[in-house]
Structure 1
Amino acid sequence: MSETRTFADVEEFTAAVGEPLGTGPWYEVTQDQVNLFADATEDHQWIHVDLEKAAAGPFGAPIAHGYLTLSLIPRLGADIYRIRNLRMGINYGLNKVRFPQPVTVGSRIRAHAELVSVTPGAQGSQAVVRWTIEIEGAPKPACVAETVALLVA
């Protein structure tokens, strides 16, 4: 794990294109989170919320929704890097998302971030960050995603 990397501004952040931004600390995924996410999205599939059935199912335990894992990127990334002198950062989209391995409830995950590109535009700069969400002790990552954010200075 590395310390939080702090950039003075978008220009300094842009200079880091192609570099790893760092790795965050481990974070435990709980059943309470999964249940709340199921309620928020109305996705109550048994593999997420039925503890008995999920324990006897293909993963041996309940699993987090893939989109829950994806939605944790802002939380996991907060300990990796920050940019000062920003008015705001806005989610602009995703270029690619894959979920190679499910996250069983009680697992610990962490994020690795790499700055792929920063492109100036009329409303701000578009930053593409490649995230790899690792599961402690697992051979494959839980999620690999390229996020696109609009950075407004």
Structure 2
Amino acid sequence: MQIIRNFNEFESFLGKELGVSEAHKITQEQIGQFADATLDHQWIHTDPERAANEGPFKATIAHGYLTLSLIPYLWKQVVDVQNLKMEINYGIDNLKFGQPVLVDSEVRLRATLVSIVNLRGVCKATIGAELEIVGQAKPAFKGDVVFLYHFTE
């Protein structure tokens, strides 16, 4: 895990891979909880029997937005940004879903610092985020996640 204490330390990683998170298993329970939270109960996600019999993947799949929602959790395994007054999820650019994540798959985040700008004391960091599916060549998604960091120093 990388420890970043200020803008200059962060900037030193420009163009470099920051690291890879631990693998996280996507369970049917997690998919069901996400469906409840978002009111998206499409059978391809929530009905294992129907998905096995009628679905194109022969299993349920995670919601695309569930996989995106894992970014903060997995990001914290890659980088520990310290000395902060505040951090803000600012946006996601150029996001493309590559393939679905089947239930019981393991995913991990690979992160690279694409750009970093000091906006009058606020650090705007763009992270190249790729959600890998363990054992698969193609990622679940690729995109640029943008964070704003207000360092104390």
After TM superposition, the score normalised by the length of structure 2 is 0.94
**2:85 corresponds to which residue?**
87
Task: Map Cα deviations across residues 20-66 of structure 1 (whole Å, 9 max, x no partner).
Answer: 00111111011111111111111111100011111121011000000
Is 1:145 paired with 2:143? yes
Identity of aligned residues (%): 45
Indicate the SS of the match to 1:88: strand
Q: Secondary structure at the match of 2:84?
A: coil
Aligned residue in 2 for 1:25: 22
The aligned amino acid for 1:103 is V
> CA separation in 1, counterparts of 2:59 and 2:148?
38
2:47 equivalent in structure 1: 50
Corresponding letter in the other structure for 1:112? R
Structure 2 unpaired stretches of 5+: none
TM-score (norm 1): 0.94
* Counterpart in the other structure of 2:73: 75
Measured against aligned partners, the alpha-carbon deviations of 1:66-101 in whole angstroms (never above 9, x if no partner) come to 010011011111111111111111011111211111
Point out 4+ residue stretches in structure 1 off by more than 2 angstroms. Answer: none
Give the drift of 1:140: 0.7
Count of matched residue pairs: 150
Structure 1 residues without counterparts, runs of 5 or longer: none
Amino acid across the alignment from 1:45: Q
